[in-house]
Structure 1
Amino acid sequence: MDIKEVYTAINSDQRVRQLVKTAPLNIIERMQVKHFDSKQFILHQGEQYQSTYLLVKGRVKVFLNSPSGKQVVLDVYDAGMFLGEQEAIINRPYSASIINISPITVLAIRNADFVEWSQRDHRFADQLISNLSAQIYHLTKRMERYSMHSALQQIGLFLLNCADEHIPITRERITYEVDTSYRNINRVLKRLADLDVIRIDHATIKITDCQTLRKIVETED
């Protein structure tokens, strides 16, 4: 592997660069840059892998599959996120499945190298703890939303959160954030559109009445 390609990948994203800037040189030299087209990067729940991956470009979906075939999305990661870091540290099979939902570039790091990196680079270890804590917090809030809110409330809360953070809203994003079927998502969106609280323009969704949408979410049984 050309070390220049590794450094080009590292420097292509600020979050990645900050994570790697104090990594031991011998570990950087053993990293590998890999590229995958959409849905060609798949890591399976229950399987054990020999590498940890740092996402440099693109997006991946983290999800659970039940024996009945139901899929529950846990999160969507973009650049600067590790894949498999928890499993590398505790030497366990993957607790969830991962698939890329766009073309991606990753840095592949041998598990042994990743563990050594976390032990030798104290600045990185602190950042890793912070990242893992944020993931646990985010997952807890998501599970609360899944278990305690109706489909309409889940969708409404997600729409309001996107509006607060000025995040573009698409049907695709909604499917990754709520625990319900695509058909039910369309039914809820149509209901909200009929109430004139959202406007649907092909795949893009805009909130037209945040106050009413918030009231609907709060009063939904």
Structure 2
Amino acid sequence: MILLSINEVYKAINSNERVRQLIKTAPLNIIEQMEVKNFDTKQFVLYQGESYQNTYLLVNGRVKVFLNSPSGKQVVLDVYDSGMFLGEQEAIINRPYSASIINISPITVLSIRNSDFVEWTQKDHRFADRLIHNLSEQIYHLTKRMERYSMHSALQQIGLFLLYCAHEHIPITREKITYEVDTSYRNINRVLKKLADINVIQIDRSIIKITDLQTLQQIVETED
């Protein structure tokens, strides 16, 4: 049983290059304590304000990180994919979760006890350096997102995200937009219809294509 378990762990590690690089120098006793867990969509949930005994490394799939206000409003902070840790900050400082997490696709995670995760950071200096780099990137990305939320209209937020996707050659869907802007789904549809009506974008079911990049750029720069 133990051999089968460790074989599953190594199979998960080697299934993703980002994950493999993160665990490359992990102490063997830490790897031996990891567990592989699989979840269907929306079956993996960690709640803001709650404490958990494990840190998770996302091997495959995507999760949404979000805040819930007392009034029920939800603000998406980020969407993580493979190679991202869940709960690492809380494990290090021993605090309840600062945000909620739910998987938006089927996922595979490596479950690591918080005590093992902290020991890993202390013993594996290469990993600690990578973790600091990853956390710094998260803070930078979150700061830019909060700037977009607080200083731009819904039209500008959507426009900026469309421009980013065009620059990075990322397929655009309505679902992705809902994770990147601080506005209602109804308002997103209103903005997309407005952009489609002036032939800046084309909408084919849930897929969105930019047809006039220059005009979209002008709209983002001149919108008050």
TM-score (norm 2): 0.98
Write the distance in 1 (CA, Å) between the matches of 2:24 and 2:221.
45
Q: Which amino acid aligns with 1:84?
A: G
Which residue of 8, 27, 32 maps to 1:29? 32
Percent identity between matched residues is: 83
CA deviation profile, 1:166-187 (whole Å, cap 9, x unmatched): 0000000000000000000000
Q: Which amino acid aligns with 1:124?
A: F
Deviant stretches of 4+, over 4 Å = none
CA deviation profile, 1:104-130 (whole Å, cap 9, x unmatched): 000000000000000000000000000
Whether 2:93 is the aligned partner of 1:90: answer yes
- 2:52 — aligned with what? 49
Write the distance in 1 (CA, Å) between the matches of 2:174 and 2:124.
41
CA deviation profile, 1:143-167 (whole Å, cap 9, x unmatched): 0000000000000000000000000
- 1:196 — aligned with what? 199
CA shift for structure 1 position 38: 0.2
Whether 2:15 is the aligned partner of 1:9: answer no
Structure 2 spans left out of the alignment, 5+ residues: none
Report matched runs for 1:34-183 at 5 Å.
Answer: 34-183=37-186
CA shift for structure 1 position 58: 0.3
CA shift for structure 1 position 31: 0.1
RMSD (Å), alpha carbons: 0.4
CA deviation profile, 1:44-72 (whole Å, cap 9, x unmatched): 00000000000000000000000000000
Write the distance in 1 (CA, Å) between the matches of 2:182 and 2:17.
32
Q: Which amino acid aligns with 1:185?
A: I
Which residue of 185, 200, 214 maps to 1:211? 214
Secondary structure class of the residue paired with 2:115 = helix
CA shift for structure 1 position 16: 0.2
Write the distance in 2 (CA, Å) between the matches of 1:92 and 1:169.
36
CA shift for structure 1 position 19: 0.1
Structure 1 spans left out of the alignment, 5+ residues: none
Secondary structure class of the residue paired with 1:30 = coil
